[in-house]
Every structure is written in structure tokens, then in C-alpha cells.
Amino acid sequence: MKDYRIVNLTIDSLTKGMQLFKNIKELSFPGVLLDSAYCYKFPKIFKEHCRAQHLIEEEKEQLVEFSGKQYVPRNGWNVYEFKAEFARQGVDKTCSVFDTVTCWNTKDTLCASYPQRVYIPHSIKANKYLVVKCSNFRCKNRFPALTFYYKAKKSSLWRAAQIAQGLMNNSCDEDEQFLQAIGETNPEGSEIFIFDARTQINAYANRATGGGLEKESNYLNCKVMFGHIHGINTVNTSYKTLKKTCMDFSKLVSSKFTAKIDSSGWYHLVRKQIKC
């Protein structure tokens, strides 16, 4: 269930169980071929970019328990296929609302911590000055970049770092225009929701170190929402606990495994983001 409660069903035959599973899948994802979803395609892509590696005995055991094979990625950047993934979502040659921009190469660096190419609104692709100014106004130059496109509704998800608002309450016209261009990629002209994973108190406190948050009065048709996650250290600790628990699965009885997963706090963090 969405809130991670577990429902146990008693079904008197395997045939009925398989039919129930098929019905639920078809009702949950009408007209969708699930095999094309990234969560199904990723394991196949991952295996193609793996190789055997010499590991200490303990690591070998953990990898065998977790994945069944002693493999690690050859090159993490190659596991993710930029063009193939966005083409799957509907961002291809027939889609005219987005265009690619190069984040780094041998001559220039727009954002060193992004993949080499990302999608931005087509309407601002030619305005390199605007993109650079927006990049400079965001922490670590992480300007808004497309991460997911829902073609049926023409809605999209974008990621970006916090703005450099600071104690002087700085603003950037180019950054505001960038977000307006994102809103215009949806012909319905929907409101833009800016999801800030931090607590509101932390967002305001970050102004003291040069960060900050978007002011709704400056950004047209934008609404800021907070995820109430206290900090990146909380997320890192939770993830490491979850990972260790999964790697040690065979050493734990079922009840202890469930309790450790719950105590990691990972589901709680995911629930907060989904709820927002």
C-alpha cells in the first residue's frame, strides 16, 4: 500500500492468485506495457555494463546474497542511457518543447556535477546568456534540468539546487524566466510547484550561507512547498542503514529484517516526498 502497510490475502489456488495479480496490474496501469518501464529495463542494462571484480571474501558473500553474482559496474555513467531513457518517456525527435544543452566538455563547464547532457525548454536553448546566468544563480551551478516527462498530460519533473538568495535577498531575472519557460512547456499553462525537500526553517537559515529559496512574488505561477526533511545527513544515514540491512538479509530472521528496515527511516523519508 502507499503508506507501506502490508495486507495479507489467502487465495486457495495458484491459478486464482495469478489471475488476481493480472487483474490488479491491468487496472493499475491501463494500456501500459510495464516491460518498457525503467524499473524493468534497468536490471538488464545494469548487467550489460558489469564485469567481475576481485573483492574481499565478505564483499563477495554480500554481493552473491544481494544480486546472485559477483559483479560491479564497469562505468556508472554508461549504465544510464540518456537518449534511450528520455525517448521511452516521449522526449524524442517528434517532441519540440525540449532541447539538449551540454553541461561540460573540453572547452566549457556549465555544471560539472550534472551528466554531460540534460534537457531544458526549447524556447531558451538559443539564449545561452540566460542559461549561464541561471546556472550561476544556483548552488553548484545546478540549474533546472528535466528528469521526467509524462507525455499523456504534458507535465514534467525538474531538478535544481537552491538559489543564491543570501541575506541581501538577491534575485535573478534570468532564473525567473527559466522557470516561466518550464511552465510554458505545458500548453495547459498549469501552476508550477517548487518542491523544496528541506524544512522551511532550514531553507531560511541557509540564506546566512548564501543559499535561500524562491519567493512566490518573483516567480510567475509558482507555489513553493516544503518536504520537511531535516538535512542531507539524515538522508545519508537512513540510506546507509537500509543498504546494510538489505546486504545482511540472510543473517536476519524475517521479523528482525522488517523491524530494521522500518527503523532505518527510509520509508518515512520516501513517504514525505510522495505526500508532498
Per-residue model confidence as pLDDT tens digits over 54-66: 444 544 445 444 4
Residue of 183, 115, 113 lying closest to 155 (CA atoms): 183
Model confidence at 13, pLDDT cuts 50, 70, 90, reads confident
pTM of the model: 0.74
Residue of 135, 142, 139, 182 lying closest to 163 (CA atoms): 139
pLDDT digits (tens, 9 = 90+) for 174-217: 999 999 999 999 888 778 999 999 999 999 999 999 999 999 99
Report, as an integer, the average pLDDT of 117-123.
96
Q: What φ, ψ does residue 51 adopt, rounded to 5°?
A: -150, 160
Beta carbons of 186 and 154 less than 8 angstroms apart: yes
Element holding 273 (H helix, E strand): helix 266-275
The Cα-based distances of 24 to 13, 18, 19, 262, 268 in angstroms read 17, 10, 9, 26, 26
The Cα-based distances of 142 to 16, 134, 186 in angstroms read 50, 9, 22
Rounded distance, CA 258 to CA 184, Å? 45
SS3 14: helix
pLDDT digits (tens, 9 = 90+) for 211-242: 999 999 999 899 999 988 888 888 999 999 99
Q: Cα angle at 111 between 221 and 159, to 5 degrees?
A: 35
Rounded distance, CA 244 to CA 38, Å? 25
Element holding 79 (H helix, E strand): helix 76-79
Least confident of 92-106, 135-149, 158-172, 252-266: 252-266
Beta carbons of 118 and 101 less than 8 angstroms apart: yes
Residue of 139, 148, 94 lying closest to 119 (CA atoms): 148
Report, as an integer, the average pLDDT of 67-96.
75
For residue 239, the model assigns a pLDDT of 92
For residue 54, the model assigns a pLDDT of 47
Model confidence at 47, pLDDT cuts 50, 70, 90, reads low
Long-range CB contacts (within 8 A, 24+) of 238-246: 238/264, 238/265, 238/266, 238/268, 238/269, 239/266, 241/265, 241/266, 242/266, 246/66
Q: How many CB atoms lie within 10 A of CB 243?
A: 13
Least confident of 62-71, 105-114, 238-247: 62-71
Write down how long the chain is: 276
First to last CA, the chain: 17
Q: What φ, ψ does residue 31 adopt, rounded to 5°?
A: 75, 15
For residue 55, the model assigns a pLDDT of 47
